């Protein structure tokens, strides 16, 4: 079973153009934690995260996943961020 992983650091903020973000009663960092937790749980042990910075307006987290899961992980990740009114950017390491 392949176990090669890949890791990236992301910064999550509210998507100011998203109706879902506008309607959210949660802080952007709370919605980001919800997205990341759902993303991790959906993979049944193939994904993990570490929160690096948690502020009211943003969250920075290091995400790790199996390389064989990269397409599904990206799709899940994008869908969750849209659903929760978030945008994200890669933080250079």
Cα 56 from Cα 27, distance rounded (Å): 6
CATH classification of the domain holding 32 = 3.30.70.260
Mean pLDDT taken over the chain: 91
- What's the pLDDT at 1? 53
Question: In Å, how far from its chain's centre is CA 61?
Answer: 8
Tell me: pLDDT of 2 over 80.
Answer: no
Contact between residue 5 and residue 67 where contact means Cβ atoms under 8 Å apart: yes
- What's the pLDDT at 86? 95
What domain range is 67 assigned to?
A: 5-90
3-state helix vs strand vs coil in the chain, percent to 5: 40, 35, 25
Instruction: Provide the residue count of the chain.
Output: 93
The model's pTM is 0.89
- How many of the other CB atoms lie within 10 Å of CB of 60? 18
Domain count of the fold of the chain: 1
Q: Which helix (H) or strand (E) holds 75?
A: helix 70-83
């Amino acid at each position: 079973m392949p176990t090669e992983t890949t890791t990236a650091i992301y910064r999550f903020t509210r998507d100011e153009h998203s109706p879902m973000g506008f309607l959210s009663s949660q802080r952007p960092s709370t919605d980001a934690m919800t997205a990341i937790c759902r993303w991790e749980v959906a993979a049944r042990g193939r994904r993990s995260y570490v929160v690096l910075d948690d502020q009211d307006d943003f969250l920075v987290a290091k995400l790790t996943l199996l390389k064989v899961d990269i397409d599904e992980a990206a799709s899940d990740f994008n869908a969750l961020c849209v659903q929760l009114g978030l945008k994200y950017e890669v933080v250079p390491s």
